[in-house]
Every structure is written in structure tokens, then in C-alpha cells.
Amino acid sequence: MEVANTSCELLDVPSGVGLLSYIPTWSYILTCQMTLESSMVPSMDLLGFWSYVHTDDEVDMGRATQLAKDIAANYEATKGERIELFLDRDDLHWGDAWLDRVDEALSNVAFFIPVITPLYFTRLECRRELQFFVNKAEKLGVTEIILPILYRDVPALHEADPTDPLMKTIKQIQWRSWTELRLKDRFSSEYRTAVDELAVELVRRVMVVESKDVVSAVESADDSAEEGEAGTLDKIAALEEAMPRWTESLSAISEEIDRIGKIMSQGTVDIERGTKSGKGTAARLTVARRVAQELGGPVENIEVLGQTFATSLAEIDEGVRTLLIEGAAQLQESNDPAELAQYCEFVGTIRGLVIASREGLGSVKQMVASSQPLEKMSKDMRMPLRRLRSSLTAMAQAQEITDAWGVVVDESSIDCQGSAKQS
């Protein structure tokens, strides 16, 4: 078993595609009728992907990553084939490297295992990884490569109709429970038997996938994309659809945060009034109980809106990266002034979004920091404020994705001053 450590390369864009002609002036009306053929880096070994939250692994003292290595080792022993394990997204520059290693037909992928916990659905990178593999696998009819492991119980997964679309997806795929096994001794027969059974199941699934005519499925998808003038690029279509949802959810979250601020401000005034009247601790506890009840509605709204925000941003991310990277590659070939102007206008829009995101999410981070001490006011305040902090923390992580857009812009081969950079 080899833990991957690869670098990324820009995807090649075929000449004559005309991608830049499809970048409109308004940032979220982005459609593109074209066929995109990606050149992927070949790999001798099958790839295994382990998608998890570092905090979950740290809390369990590395047991989640050890489980990944145990499953991969057992898979190799069972099937007699090497596995290149994508495990640590920090070491791999995960956001780009793993994408470049997945071929168009997923024929080099042995498995994708999302380690499901309550935190998993709050992490944008985890959501992005899961959505990518689900979209690809469903398109090609090879969903067998996806095997979720329920590492910590997620109550919402047991609901008949979860509000989070990715939770609905996990329910449809079905998972293997590891909630009791995660604390078993690694050398116990129970743990070793369960790991072996998982490896055997993965081997069985790979054999099922290998028996399918995936090449024909890819060709069929390509043929469908070529119908009409040139087809529709999925990532750009998803961007167009997701951007309004993202901006609407962000606006609605801002309103709920304002609402929470007013509730807290009024609570502060009432506590001061009670203290002056000599009621002291009793007044503080009474107000805290009332404030906790009033926070229930907006906190619940932020939880729902935060899921929409995270899902939409993951979809937007792929489209933005595609337009920035592939657009720059095409400009290197065309040097068309009109296309350069359109590209640079789009770059300006993205820079504006990056700046606005930093400012807006900076306020969210401040609220996260300020809410933690308030949890100690009373046991009534503890639960709603913890829920609020959890949702806002997940949102604050979105800055990593939007900052990455700025990095792509800064590293672009196009300087948006009228000419391509000389390499």
C-alpha cells in the first residue's frame, strides 16, 4: 500500500472550444455549450480514497486513519493488487491532486469511503469530495465504488426525509456502521473480522464494476454531450444553478444573525435592568431562559441555511475553477482581445467575491468567538449557542475555498493587463 504524494498539473483544453466566449458579464449567469476532454495523469495502481474530518481522527487518537490503512492492507491481501491510498489532504494539496488522478471512467478507482460523522457534513471539502464521486459514479453506473462508513451516529440520517441533500444521498447509497467498532481494540478478533469483511466487500464491488462496460457508458455520456451544437458543460451548469442559492442563503443567514444580535442585545438590557432593581442572579437566569427560547428559531434556520450554503458553494467551486483555469489556457492559444476582456471581467467579479467573502466571513468568525463565553451563562443558553457556533464554524471554513479562487487568479497565466504572462 502506498500513500499518495503527487503534484498537480493543469488540464489541457482542446483548441477551438471557445470557452471564454461563454463567460457573461453577470457573475452567476454562466452557461457554456461545449465538450471538454480532460487529460488525466495515468496511474499503475488502483486508487483508494478516504474522506474524513481531521478532528474526528484526532479525537480518537488516529483510529480513523489507522482504519483506512487496515482496510487498504486487507484489500491488497485479498485481491492481490496494490492500492495507492489518498488519505491526508493536507500533504497532498488534496483540492487538486486527487482530481487529476481520477480517470474519466473511474476505472482506476477501487473505492471511495466517506467517514460519516456529524462533523463530516459541516466540512466543505468533505462535501465537495463526496459530491464529486457521487456525480461521477451515478453518471457511469458504478456507485458500487462508494461505501460510506458511519463512524459516529448522525441523528438526521435516521429521518425519513433529511433536509441536507447529501444526507439523502448517503441514505440512498446505504452505509456500514462502525459506531461501536470504532472503540474496539485494533487487535481484537471483532475488529479484525470487521475490517476483513469490509475488504472482501470492496473486492466484490470492484469485481462488479470491472464486469460493467464503463467505456461504453463514458462514450454514451460523450455522445449525449455532443448532441445539439456542442452540449452543456456540467460544472458550469451547476455553477449557474447554485450561485443564486448560495447568495440567497448567505443573505438569509445574515438576516438571522442580525435577528440573533437583537435578541442578545435586548437580553443584555433586561439583565442590566434586573440587576439595578436588585434581582441579581434570579434576573439573569430568567432572562437567559427567555433568550435561549427566542434563539431556537433563528438557530434552527441558520442550521438549515448553512447546509444549503455549503452544498451550493461546493458546486460553485468546481465551475469557478473550470472557468478560471481552462479560460486562461485557451487565452494562451487564442490571444483574442474580446475573450481577454470577458475573462478579465470575470476575474474582477471573482476578486470582488473573494474580498466580500473575507469581510462577511470575518464577521461570522467574530460571532463564533464571542458566542463561546456566553455558553457559560446558564445551562439554558448552552445548547442553542453550541448549535449556533457549530453552524457558523462550518460557514467560516468557506473562506478557505474562496481564498483558493484568489490564488488561482494570482497564479493565472493571464495578467488581465492586456497580454498573457510570459513563461
Q: What is the DSSP string of 16-58?
A: T--GGGG--SSTT---------------SSEEEEEE--HHHHH
How high is the pLDDT of residue 214? Answer: 59
Retrieve residue 213's grid coordinates: 462496460
CATH architecture of 36-216: 3-Layer(aba) Sandwich (3.40)
Residue 28: pLDDT band (50, 70, 90) is: very low
How high is the pLDDT of residue 251? Answer: 82
User: CB–CB of 122/398 below 8 Å?
Assistant: no
How high is the pLDDT of residue 177? Answer: 94
Q: What is the mean pLDDT of residues 337-342?
A: 83
User: CB–CB of 83/1 below 8 Å?
Assistant: yes
How high is the pLDDT of residue 6? Answer: 38
How high is the pLDDT of residue 67? Answer: 95
Residue 94: pLDDT band (50, 70, 90) is: very low
Q: What is the mean pLDDT of residues 22-44?
A: 31
Average pLDDT of every residue of the chain: 75
What is the side-by-side order of every strand in the sheet holding 83-86? 2-3, 83-86, 46-51, 109-116, 149-150, 176-177
Whole-angstrom distance, CA of residue 46 vs CA of residue 138:
20
Retrieve residue 356's grid coordinates: 466580500
Whole-angstrom distance, CA of residue 344 vs CA of residue 342:
6
Retrieve residue 186's grid coordinates: 485494533
Give the highest mean pLDDT range of 64-78, 113-127, 277-291.
64-78
Residue tagged 476505472 (cell numbers): 107
Residue 395: pLDDT band (50, 70, 90) is: confident
Q: Which long-range contacts (CB under 8 A, 24 or more apart) does 198-201 make?
A: 198/71, 198/74, 198/147, 198/149, 199/71, 199/74, 199/75, 199/77, 199/78, 200/78, 201/147, 201/176
User: In this structure, are strands 2-3 and 149-150 parallel, antiparallel, or unpaired?
Assistant: unpaired
Q: Kindly report the CA angle at 174 between 151 and 395, in degrees rounded to 5? A: 60
Domain boundaries, the chain: 36-216, 260-410
Q: What is the mean pLDDT of residues 74-82?
A: 89
The share of the chain scoring above pLDDT 70, in percent, equals 73
How high is the pLDDT of residue 152? Answer: 95
How high is the pLDDT of residue 310? Answer: 77
Q: Is the pLDDT of residue 320 over 50?
A: yes
pTM of the model: 0.57
Q: Is the pLDDT of residue 341 over 70?
A: yes
Residue 417: pLDDT band (50, 70, 90) is: low
